[in-house]
Amino acid sequence: MQVAVTRRIDDDALAILASIGQLRYWDNDLPPDRDELLKLLDGVDGALMLLTDRVDAGLLDRCPSLRVVSNLAVGFDNIDVAACTARRVAACTTPNVLTQTTAEFTIALLMAVARQVVPAARAARDGDWKTWYPFRFLGRDLAGATLGIVGLGRIGASVAQMATGLGMRVVYSSGRTDERYQRLDIDELLETADIVSLHVPATPTTHHLIEAHALALMKSDAILINTSRGTVIDADALVAALEEGRLFGVGLDVTDPEPLPSDHPLYSFDRVTIVPHIASATMTTRMRMSSLAAQNVVAVLTGVEPPHCLNPEVLRNV
């Protein structure tokens, strides 16, 4: 049995994979390009992959020995699941283990934007701290504010619970039903919320969900937080809204594209905080994610039901 790993990961996950066969390891912090990826996957039975690896019909046809692709992520917009199913390749993910960590980071980003932590820290570091300023770096209080959650899934629900603990009123627009919070349609949510936090997957339906019209509906001093996927926001429309002076602040853990080029106009606004897709990045959580991704591979290749498979119908004849 041969298994590929498309990025440098921790030894525990590698050991899980090595227990069933030979490893072909991309021992690098940067991803393989398409040709390197195809070469790496050539002839392997399974692969532990990252959200930066595009798994489409073209790749699957070039790698007919593949029986499982296991994403080191809960999101799977990099994987064409239908193409996997058509070729009887199991597609697996790592939900649940990152829910709390991602929700905690959403609150951290929200607080950083609401309290201008990044511009204030930059001013202190740059020698621009001359006195105690009564009216500089003024933020927004969270207690009493209305948080609009777009997508009350696992992570959205965890954010809602934390926000409630901070004294926020929570409304939501899609996802599971939860009687504790008020459900609104998306336009009502955008008009009502002081803070809008996005928790939907990247799908054709959510592509540019937050575009010019949506941004115009938001309160002009609202805060927008995105820890889901960059494509949910139309970045050009966001830049235009910011140039018009709209929005108190924006926190982006995800962007379109990723990485966001360093000359992108979004970096020019002090009230925009951008971080490089780190919401699930704690040691414990990344270790759990990588173990789970490895377990998915091992389970499929040894004929056991994997912990998290998106297309379990293919498993019957793997």
Query: Which of 277, 286, 288, 308 is an active site residue?
Result: 277
Q: Which of 191, 243, 258, 313 does the annotation list as catalytic? A: 258
Show the beta-strand stretches assigned E in 54-163: 68-71, 90-92, 146-150
User: Closest residue to ligand DGY, Cβ-based?
Assistant: 75
Contacts with ligand DGY by CB under 6 A lie at 51, 73-75, 98, 280
Residue type, 114: A
At its nearest, how many Å lie between ligand DGY and the CB of residue 16?
19
CA distances for 195 relative to 7, 108, 110, 266, angstroms: 36, 13, 8, 19
Instruction: Kindly tell me which of 21 and 31 has the beta carbon lying closer to ligand DGY.
Output: 31
Helices 283-301 and 11-18 pack at an angle, to 10 degrees, of 10
Smallest distance, Å, CB 105 to ligand DGY? 10
Q: What is the Cα–Cα distance from 302 to 311, expressed in whole angstroms?
A: 17
Minimal distance, residue 229 CB to ligand DGY, in Å: 7
Least distance CB 203 / ligand DGY (angstroms):
13
Annotated catalytic residue within 229, 286, 288, 308? 229
Which one, 116 or 280, has the nearer CB to ligand DGY? 280
- Residue 207 falls in the annotated catalytic set: no
Active site residue 188: no
92-111 as b/e: b if 16+ CB within 10 A: bbbbebbbbbbbbbbbbbbe
| Nearest CB to ligand DGY, comparing residues 75 and 312 | 75
**Dihedral sign computed on CA atoms, order 271, 276, 280, 281:** negative
Question: Considering beta carbons, is residue 94 or 174 the nearer one to ligand DGY?
Answer: 94
d(CA 156, CA 171): 11
Is-contact 27 8, C-beta < 8 A?
A: yes
Q: Is 277 an annotated catalytic residue?
A: yes
Nearest to ligand DGY of 177, 284 (CB atom): 284
Closest contact distance (angstroms) between CB of 74 and ligand DGY is: 4
- What tokens appear for 318 in the block? 């793997």
Which residues are known catalytic residues? 229, 258, 277
